[in-house]
Structure 1
Amino acid sequence: MTTEKEEKSIYLKLIDCQSRLNAPKNQYNSFGDYKYRTTEDILIGVKPLLEENNLCLTLDDELIEINGEPYICATATIFDRNSRLSTKAYAKIDFTKKKMDASQQCGSASTYARKYALNGMFLIDDMKDADTNEHKKEADERSKQAGTKKQDEAPEMPTKEEIEQFRAYLGAEGISEEYVCYSCGIKNITMITKKLFDKFADNKNLPALKEAHDVWLKKQEAKKNE
């Protein structure tokens, strides 16, 4: 005998998963000061819903070339006994990253692409990520508020020598000045305050800084390909 769940179309099953899925941003990047969710966070939330709706989910990767550049194409597919639905997402493999071997670079691109394939399937909107407009507006607002302080409350600034050393440090770690400016809400690296300078230059913050930078970099690359 066929059950009601099995009789529902795959579209109705997907709608049920989309409407009931709870995938909160349980991760925190202390450097970028933002919360985010991982692929695993999404899967933890969606697995019980898939089981209730008699659906299977698969994630597959394919190495492709776009304009001479290597990309990972991730495909998220849900299927039941009769039908299947798929969504795709792409992430460029950045072989210029230092301190990462080829397998790590491919793994990083795969993780990013799979997450956004799942986002597309289950209608997850990553607002307030490190490089969204809303996050940028908040950074700009903080910058404006800092600019309204009285002259005698002007923040301490790093020296020219410190700025040059900082630039060399960013270059050695593969972190763009553009990201630093974006994150701080400034137009030029020389406008960074001593407080933010110390935060960026502190080696203990480097892992979180690189993670936030990688997220921003991938989003910028995705925008170019839209």
Structure 2
Amino acid sequence: MALLGEAALAMWWDMAADARADFEHWHAHEHFPERLGIPGFRRASRWRAADGGEGVFVLYELADYGVLSSPAYLARLNAPTPWSTRMMPHHRHMVRSQCRVLESRGASTARHALTVRLSPAAGRDEALRAGLRALAETLVQRPGLVGLHLLRHATPPIAQTEEQKIRGLNDRVADWVLVACGYELEAVQALAELEEAALCALGAAPGTERGVYTLAYTATPADMN
């Protein structure tokens, strides 16, 4: 089963240990229900750094790219709740990518995920995409793995939002995003095909960023009823 739509919102940040309990309560019981109440939001997943560190990865699966600039979504971004306003400054080192789905094979919610933030080398966009598409067909059948998904950031034509202002307008973006999902941590960690040298051979530029995460919570709009 592929991602549940043609677009996705992928985000990474660090959350300090002393704020984590309040964050997880807010994120599960206010923020996810709020986001999943917006037309076009089809699934939300939150992941924690597998090594027990401060890292958080969140993936929203969206019906289409237009959801990211829809009036309903912008209304929420520009009117954060008091609880959201209190939590936003704790989202440190935010990377927020508003993406079109380029390729999607297999499941998107397994126990573990490896994310790779990358960019194609000059003139290698199509070669990199083709190489990753072929790789996905093989990887999703490997023991311990169940899915591989490729996303590409595209900035929607919208102004800075109130939520971004609360965070200090310091959000970064990831150009391309790979998400590999699996049920065995060792299999996810051992993906040599997604190491930088292997990706560069397919057409990626140097400077990839990897992280391994463990699923904390996932929900769909139907779960909010």
Q: TM-score, normalised by structure 1?
A: 0.21
**Counting strand residues as a fraction of each chain, which structure ranks higher?**
2
**Counting helix residues as a fraction of each chain, which structure ranks higher?**
1
Considering Cα pairs closer than 8 Å and 6+ residues apart, tell me whether 1 or 2 has the greater RCO. 2
